[in-house]
Amino acid sequence: MRIENDPKLDFRDVLIRPKRSTLGSRAHVDVERSFRFPHTGAEWKGFPLIAANMDVVGTMAMARALRKHGAMVALHKHYDAEALIAFFREPESANAFYSLGTTEADHDKLKAVHAQSPISKICLDVANGYTEKFVDTVKATRAAFPDAAIMAGNVVTGDMTEALILAGADIVKVGIGPGSVCTTRKMTGVGYPQLSAIIECADAAHGLKGLVCGDGGLTVPGDVAKAYGGGADFVMMGGMLAGHDECEGEIRYEERDGEKVPVAMVFYGMSSDTAMHKYSGGVAKYRASEGKTVEVPYRGPVEGTMQEIMGGVRSAMTYIGAVYLKEMSKRTTFIMVGAQLNTVFGN
Ligand code: 5GP
């Protein structure tokens, strides 16, 4: 047994210190970034936010809506091949990732869809990216799809970030346990405070010209700013995008003044009982569910939430004098406030 003593940080443990700048208004900052994917050389430009490949938020409707903001979606894994073939023929699919796991069936389906509608972005997603099998899957996918941008994860440490980039990933997905409907930390005791995971993995990835996507644990626009400040090239979110018209899922209505109005939507982890009953006929005997099911308030079109997130990031950039989003991590100084905040928020 070993103990690591240096403190590891979550979003709530820090704030971003304001800095003097000549920037006049948040209208003068640019929240777009452009990246070159290291394995393909292809360039991508947009607002680096990705809707998670959870079946409630990783939808085709979300992809169409977020594309208007230059943002992306990792589609959930449960669309059938026909729907995917039709979708990837639409120009709106340009910012969408095709998501899959490591099974043979997953990869056969990807090949079948790709044969009909070429796929340019692939998200290889497993809960635990530390297995040899996963590294082999990344290598095999890179060999089979030399021209596709590959995002792979999840991991939380620099060594494994490097291993995945060397195996063929352009973007490494970072996060074990921070998700809003994730119970991994409770069920297994495994995890890593998300801001530190982002900082450490970004440092490792950038040394190899790779990219990272901070996945999970973002609860407010300020967390998104902190993730970019910590070095995340992309962020991925589920909970913050749940409850919108573009989501797929049950809506709960209430009678108000004789009218039926939507008030809440169901949102659940992809390894929750709810998801496992829906897609795998129940929870397999050898595993426990590592996700929960919650209700989130119904919030109408995702447009309003995107404006809030982008507005928050713009404002954070103004506070620290970053004209371009890519300057954000250089201009960020975090101050540790964990103890005080925990008292304020009662965590
Ligand atoms: P959120 O933005 O809701 O905080 O986190 C979204 C992320 O949580 C997803 O992108 C995924 O990495 C993770 N996640 C989704 N479902 C589950 C689950 O059932 N269990 C665990 N451990 N993580 C999940």
Question: Mind listing the pLDDT tens digit for each residue in 60-99?
Answer: 999 999 999 999 999 999 999 999 999 999 998 999 999 9
Among protein residues, the one whose CA lies closest to atom 17 of ligand 1: 269
Cα separation, 130 vs 247, in Å, equals 31
Confidence class for position 202, pLDDT limits 50, 70, 90 = very high
Please answer whether residues 173 and 151 qualify as being in contact, where contact means their C-beta atoms are separated by less than 8 angstroms: yes
List, in sequence order, the alpha helices (H) in the chain. 60-67, 81-87, 104-116, 132-144, 158-167, 184-188, 194-207, 221-229, 273-280, 302-320, 328-331, 338-345
Q: Tell me which amino acid residue 130 is.
A: Y
For all residues of the chain together, what is the average pLDDT?
94
Task: Work out the pLDDT band at 347, boundaries 50, 70, 90.
Answer: very low
Atom of ligand 1 nearest to the CA of 53: 10
10 lines ligand 1 (CB under 6 A): no
Name the residue with the closest Cα to ligand 1, atom 23: 182
% of the chain with per-residue pLDDT over 70: 96
> Can you state the angle between helices 302-320 and 221-229, rounded to 10 degrees?
50
User: Average pLDDT in the 28-48 region?
Assistant: 96
201 is catalytic: no
DSSP letter, residue 87: H
Whether residue 25 is predicted with pLDDT greater than 90 in this model: the reply is no
Active-site residue among 182, 201, 213, 247? 182
Taking the C-alpha atoms of residue 237 and residue 176, their distance in angstroms, rounded to an integer, is: 13
Q: Atom 22, ligand 1: which residue's CA is nearest?
A: 182
Tens digits of per-residue pLDDT, 158-198? 999 999 999 999 999 999 999 999 999 999 999 999 999 99
**In the predicted structure, residue 346 carries a pLDDT above the cut 60:** no
Closest CA to 233 of 12, 46, 98, 95: 46
Q: Given the CA of residue 219, which atom of ligand 1 is nearest to it?
A: 4
What's the rounded Cα separation, in Å, for the pair 2 and 63? Answer: 44
pLDDT at 342 > cutoff 70: no
Is 341 a residue whose pLDDT tops 60? Answer: no
Tens of pLDDT, residues 216-227: 999 999 999 999
- State the pLDDT at residue 285: 67
What SS3 class is residue 14? strand
Category of 217 on φ-ψ map: left (φ > 0), alpha (ψ -120 to 50) or beta = left
pTM of the complete model: 0.96
Residue 253 half-sphere exposure toward CB, CA atoms < 13 A: 7
Does residue 215's CB lie within 6 angstroms of at least one atom of ligand 1? Answer: yes
Nearest-CA residue for ligand 1 atom 21 is 182
Ligand 1 within 6 A of CB of 237? yes
106 exposed, middle or buried (CB, 10 Å; 0-12, 13-18, 19+)?
middle
